[in-house]
Amino acid sequence: MNPIQVLSNNPQSPDWTNARGTWTVVNGYMDATGVSPQIQSGASFPSDRTVSVRAMTITSGETVYKVAYLYGKYVDFYDKLYMYIQTDGTIILAMWQGNTNHGYVYYNSGLSPYSWHTFKMVISGNTAWAYIDGTLYITATDSIIGSLGAASVGLASWGPSESQFDSVVIS
């Protein structure tokens, strides 16, 4: 079992690096604004892990997927495992490796990205489980998951949007 690590809500702390967009602290939360702000942890974590964050989209971009994201594994822009709630309530668990993109979808969740939710990804070997507020929505087994290996975690708010994040925990 991995030790529990809680990352700072201050995007300027050593816990975070490679920020794109504007990242500030608003009311104690990490606030991401601008065009596709993205941030990743300064540390790499073991391949098998559990990652969670409280997240809320304040304003979304012009399409359903321009909302708050949790990157359970983030190697680089084209090598990552991530989840989000679209503006239509669809929950997405997706992964990229090079030019290969695989997506797993849960439709009609009834959840709004404009409310606080706890996103959690449990990753073991080639399997990832995506939870929102303690409910399992997606289980995916894909070789990309394991082959991404040890990596950082990350957060994003796609599009011209604003999202807030609280309490990133890795174990």
What type of residue is 29? Y
Q: What would the two tokens of residue 110 be? A: 């009834």
Per-residue pLDDT of 48-69, as tens digits, reads 999 999 999 999 999 999 999 9
Predicted TM-score (pTM) of the model is: 0.96
Domains and CATH numbers, the chain: 5-170 (2.60.120.560)
What is the chain's mean pLDDT, rounded?
A: 96
Quick one: average pLDDT of 149-162?
96
* Proportion of the chain above pLDDT 70, given as a percent: 99
Distance of CA 86 to the CA centre of its chain: 13
Cα–Cα distance measured from residue 19 to residue 4, given in angstroms and rounded to the nearest whole number: 24
Reported as a single tens digit per residue, the pLDDT across 23-44 is: 999 999 999 999 999 999 999 9
